[in-house]
Structure 1
Amino acid sequence: MSLTHLPSLHRPINQGVGVRHKAQSMLHWGLSQGLPMAVVKFAGRDGDPQARLMEAGGDDDVWEVIEQVRAQGPLVKGRVTFISADHAVVDEVLTSKAFRTGNPLDRLGFLATASARLRPATMHPLVEPSLLVTEPPDHTRYRKLVTRVFTMRAVEKLRDRAETVAAELLDELDGRTDLVEQYCSLLPVTLISQILGIPTSERREVLAMGSDIAASLDFGLSWPEYRDVDAGLRRFDAWLETHIETLRGKPGDDLLSQLVQVQDEHGALDMAELKATAGLVLAAGFETTVNLLGNGIKLLHDHPDELAELRQDPALWSNAVEEILRIDPPVLLTARFAPEPTTLEGQHISAGTQVVVLLAGANRDPKVFHDPSRFDVTRANAREHLSFSAGRHHCLGAALARMEGEVGLKAFFDRYPDVTLLPGAKRRPTRILRGWRTLPAQV
């Protein structure tokens, strides 16, 4: 079904919404975004590391903050959270059963209850039943069902399609262009559209909705940002429900159609579970790949000696993708909570305490990676990065992202080996996801 057949996607989300709903939205924003951000900023008066990270956002200042955290030790206690840039500590937090995913407000009693009651009913990547925040046994069930669909074999079937799409997009580039808009975003969204059974003609609408979902991963949204994200999530939720019902009645050969039909001993996934899964695939499955492609193009453009290594030995492309993921990861950080009191790196972690793990910091740990700030496509242990997380929440789309990164970057530099990046490149303003919003170039 075309997006143009869904009027709700094209009219302002607040049209006809009463004062009560607006007040509810503002209250939810205050509890879920405004108040926590105010607490973090207050802590920042004393140089709290998490506050400094929030201020750095997606800028390159983040590397200075990460190294300041590392200099204070493997596990740093802030006013609000613990934080780590140490590879071993980050890996332990991600893999240990002593730490779980979840929303920080869920452990704040009255605030948790009030926020949950005010929360919009639309799907959200940080609200159950999203795989990002569920734990066993539900997480085990969802992941088992989804893994049947997103296998290595299924990803490899997409390789030829990825090469074809990359070639078609590169044919359309001419002269001055924005590589993020015209290439880095369109390649993964076209493939995700195929996975979700969405016509390629609708990929730009899907891209816009995916950006809204990606922004919803951030903490400390301003009120205008919150309103935009909420509107985007509502549009996507309405569209996705209709799309799933269409696939349920007339399944195609796409992977989402398979997921709609698949069942286990507990039965099929319900609508909320299907929407949560598809939404996560959209946000994590292509938004992060957009960042991988953009970061990779920028790194290889700025390091011509490394690009020369790849031209001399194309077999290195797979390792080059791992090194790009290591040195400039699409996801900067994540967090876990201790549901029960525990000990980490000799420090007591009380129940409900958050531990922020800097994936980007772990990827530059000098105890693991020699000369960690150096970009080296021949690095022997580049794959030891933690950019895809670890443990039971290891990124389900890792194989797809690796394949798209390898195909997309190799095709680009094979076609445009002498590309020139122009002034005006801008980083995305998001704090969790890291990538380029614009990347002007002359091809």
Structure 2
Amino acid sequence: MVSPRYWVRWFSEQGIARYGMRMQARRGDPFARLHATHAGLHDPYPIIESVRAQGRMVRSPLSWLTADYELTRAMLRDNRFGVFAIEAVAVPEPLRRFIRSAPMPANPVEPPSMLMTDPPEHTRLRKPVSAAFTPRAIGRLRDRVESVTAELLDALPSNGSADLIGSFASQVPIAIIAEMLGFPRESRAEFLEWGDAMSPLLDLGISWRTWRSALVSMQVMDSYLDEHIARLRREPGEDILSSLVTAGDLDNQELKATASLLMGAGFETTVNLIGNGVVQLLSHPEQLARLREEPELWSNAVEEVLRFDAPIQTTGRVILSDTEFGGVRLRRGGTVVMSLAGTNRDPKVFEDPNRFDITRSNAKDHLSFSSGVHSCLGASLARMEAVYALRSLFDRFPDLALAGPPRRRPLFTLHGYSHLPVRLGQRAAAAV
């Protein structure tokens, strides 16, 4: 049973925005149309271009909005803007009291998650984790990524059909990040279920039913992490979480928030990246043919997928003080939503931006992994997993084809597919 206090919390954080966005979407507000309409979910680019046509910073009743590359990159690096902090937002004190009286378990989208903290607290939380994501550390994972990918491809039926999300795209990153955190193999299915339930929390205006499902999953995961961390205190391994536990720099709540963030971030971006990559390459067969002829282009092809079909479509910041930025006056407590999908197609930066081109010379300049202090810690790992997974998939199944329309996830921030039906074709021999 979920306490009624949580319904009040949902209503103050999500319900008001949900009903407000529906009303504003009917009035044509671009922010609301992006977040609360079928078009915003399935084909956001016409709406994004309408924002771009209105200026570099566009005011809506709900937020400032920008699709400008230069402004977005600058804002992500500017300490006048921070991640969400309730103290900076004009929330009535009675609602604040309700929010505090309905505390959430440790999770990726609230402090003390490093995703939702600013320096110097963010620096303290991020520093002990960073060592696990250095180029040398990621390089040591290459053999494991290759073996996991090979195992999954061996399990796919030759001349058969499959849902590539459930059987491949989600399984590669969840296997790697679970091992990095010391989770047993049998827990992977649970974490995928919890991740599916909790990922809508990155969106604004989600339904009470969806929010409640996320809360229940958080509560179950919180208990799991309590037991797992206690076990690691007794019997530490060689994984990231064991190192954090034994170092003693983070308290139990911080350890759980960090673990849940790494678990979610460790597979959510990559599963979307792999799925989006499959769809884009099958939709542009001439590009796939070029990759077969010039496999050295695979790394750049993944960068172009990140640019063209960003796995994370948007991010936001709270205005921490009255300031002028981008030629407009911004007030403390307001918010700015940055369309990463829009910045990645800014014609001032990317020539012919609506063309998918695996040879694009500046594809890597995209902002899909954010920028500044909150840039994605696992970007190198995601790139490496995607390059190897996509290349291996198309090498092992050269006749791979869609078996029906892919189904988008019903999310705005996380942009990917929930189902990707394919005909695999004849399996080719594995490279040796």
Q: 1: CA distance between counterparts of 2:149 and 2:12?
A: 43
Q: 1: CA distance between counterparts of 2:48 and 2:412?
A: 13
The 5-angstrom pairing of residues 238-387 of structure 1 reads 238-263=223-248, 268-387=249-368
Q: 2: CA distance between counterparts of 1:60 and 1:378?
A: 26
Identify the residue that residue 3 of structure 1 maps to in structure 2: none
Identify the residue that residue 59 of structure 2 maps to in structure 1: 77
Aligned letter for 1:145?
P
The 3-state SS of whatever aligns with 1:220 is coil
Give the drift of 1:416: 0.9
Q: Out of 94, 100, 120, which is 2:82 matched to?
A: 100
The 5-angstrom pairing of residues 428-439 of structure 1 reads 428-439=409-420
Identify the residue that residue 392 of structure 2 maps to in structure 1: 411
Q: Out of 169, 183, 186, which is 1:201 matched to?
A: 186
Identify the residue that residue 152 of structure 2 maps to in structure 1: 169
Structure 2: 5+ residue runs without aligned partners?
Answer: 425-432
1:101-155 deviations in whole A, cap 9, x for unaligned?
Answer: 1156851242651343243330122211111110111111111111122222111
The 3-state SS of whatever aligns with 2:338 is strand
The 3-state SS of whatever aligns with 2:367 is coil
Aligned letter for 2:307?
R
Give the drift of 1:24: 1.2
C-alpha contact (below 8 Å) 2:25/2:37 kept by paired residues = no
Identify the residue that residue 114 of structure 1 maps to in structure 2: 97
Q: 2: CA distance between counterparts of 1:394 and 1:51?
A: 26
The answer as to 2:136 corresponding to 1:153 is yes
C-alpha contact (below 8 Å) 2:21/2:36 kept by paired residues = no
Is the deviation greater in 100-109 or in 341-350? 100-109
Q: 2: CA distance between counterparts of 1:414 and 1:105?
A: 52
Aligned letter for 1:438?
H
The 3-state SS of whatever aligns with 2:202 is coil
Q: Out of 208, 212, 218, which is 2:197 matched to?
A: 212
Give the drift of 1:249: 1.2
1:251-294 deviations in whole A, cap 9, x for unaligned?
Answer: 1112221222235xxxx211111111111111111111110000
1:326-369 deviations in whole A, cap 9, x for unaligned?
Answer: 00011000100111001111100011110000000000001100
The answer as to 2:110 corresponding to 1:127 is yes
C-alpha contact (below 8 Å) 1:335/1:356 kept by paired residues = yes
Identify the residue that residue 17 of structure 1 maps to in structure 2: none
Aligned letter for 1:248?
R
1:399-433 deviations in whole A, cap 9, x for unaligned?
Answer: 11111111111111111121011114210001110
Structure 1: 5+ residue runs without aligned partners?
Answer: 1-13, 15-20
The 3-state SS of whatever aligns with 2:82 is coil
Aligned letter for 1:78?
S
Is the deviation greater in 195-204 or in 175-184? 195-204
TM-score, with normalisation over the residues of structure 2? 0.94
Change beyond 3 A, Cα 1:218–1:29? same
Q: 1: CA distance between counterparts of 2:92 and 2:267?
A: 35
TM-score, with normalisation over the residues of structure 1? 0.92
Change beyond 3 A, Cα 1:105–1:304? farther
Change beyond 3 A, Cα 1:93–1:432? same
- How many matched pairs? 420
Q: 1: CA distance between counterparts of 2:41 and 2:399?
A: 27
Change beyond 3 A, Cα 1:109–1:414? same
Identify the residue that residue 7 of structure 1 maps to in structure 2: none
Give the drift of 1:224: 1.0
Q: Out of 170, 185, 200, which is 2:170 matched to?
A: 185
C-alpha contact (below 8 Å) 2:34/2:41 kept by paired residues = no
C-alpha contact (below 8 Å) 1:342/1:348 kept by paired residues = yes
Change beyond 3 A, Cα 1:279–1:80? same
Q: Percent identity?
A: 44
C-alpha contact (below 8 Å) 2:197/2:210 kept by paired residues = no
Q: 2: CA distance between counterparts of 1:360 and 1:199?
A: 36
Q: 2: CA distance between counterparts of 1:176 and 1:378?
A: 31
Q: 2: CA distance between counterparts of 1:417 and 1:112?
A: 56
The answer as to 2:13 corresponding to 1:32 is yes
Q: 2: CA distance between counterparts of 1:182 and 1:281?
A: 22
Q: 2: CA distance between counterparts of 1:106 and 1:290?
A: 34
The 3-state SS of whatever aligns with 2:81 is coil
The answer as to 2:35 corresponding to 1:50 is no
The 5-angstrom pairing of residues 132-143 of structure 1 reads 132-143=115-126
C-alpha contact (below 8 Å) 2:306/2:366 kept by paired residues = yes
The 3-state SS of whatever aligns with 1:132 is helix
Q: 2: CA distance between counterparts of 1:418 and 1:178?
A: 16
Coordinate RMSD, CA, aligned: 1.5
Q: 1: CA distance between counterparts of 2:138 and 2:98?
A: 39
C-alpha contact (below 8 Å) 1:105/1:111 kept by paired residues = no
